[in-house]
């Protein structure tokens, strides 16, 4: 009896009408549960496309090359002390 119980439980989970093999299902096109998911994904993709297309990224202004400050060795050492 204990061995037959899982078989009975599995039999209760089967659908009442089994589909005929090779028959075409008449679901009417897209699955009703899939339609809201596709609509939400399309909305998100559309919004992201508009955001990327119409936002302008700031271009960095490259300054012209400035000469570097000379080192103490290049200038001859420290300047003389101030006269107060």
pTM recorded for the entire structure = 0.36
For residue 57, the Cα-to-chain-centroid distance in whole angstroms is: 20
**CA 20 – CA 22 distance, rounded (Å):** 6
| pLDDT per position as a tens digit, 22-62 | 766 665 565 677 888 899 999 999 999 988 888 877 777 77
Residue-averaged pLDDT of the chain: 76
For residue 53, the Cα-to-chain-centroid distance in whole angstroms is: 17
Residue 13: CA count within 13 A, CB half-sphere: 6
All residues at 6 or more sequence positions from 3 whose CB lies less than 8 Å from its CB, including other chains: none
Domain range annotation of the chain: 31-55
């Amino acid at each position: 009896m204990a061995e037959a119980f899982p078989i009975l439980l599995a039999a209760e989970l089967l659908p009442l009408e089994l589909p005929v093999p090779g028959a075409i299902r008449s679901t009417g096109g897209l699955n009703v549960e899939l339609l809201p998911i596709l609509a939400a994904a399309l909305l998100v993709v559309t919004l992201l496309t508009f955001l990327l297309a119409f936002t302008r990224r700031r271009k960095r202004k490259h300054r012209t090359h400035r000469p570097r400050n000379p080192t103490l060795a290049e200038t001859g050492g420290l300047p003389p002390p101030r006269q107060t």
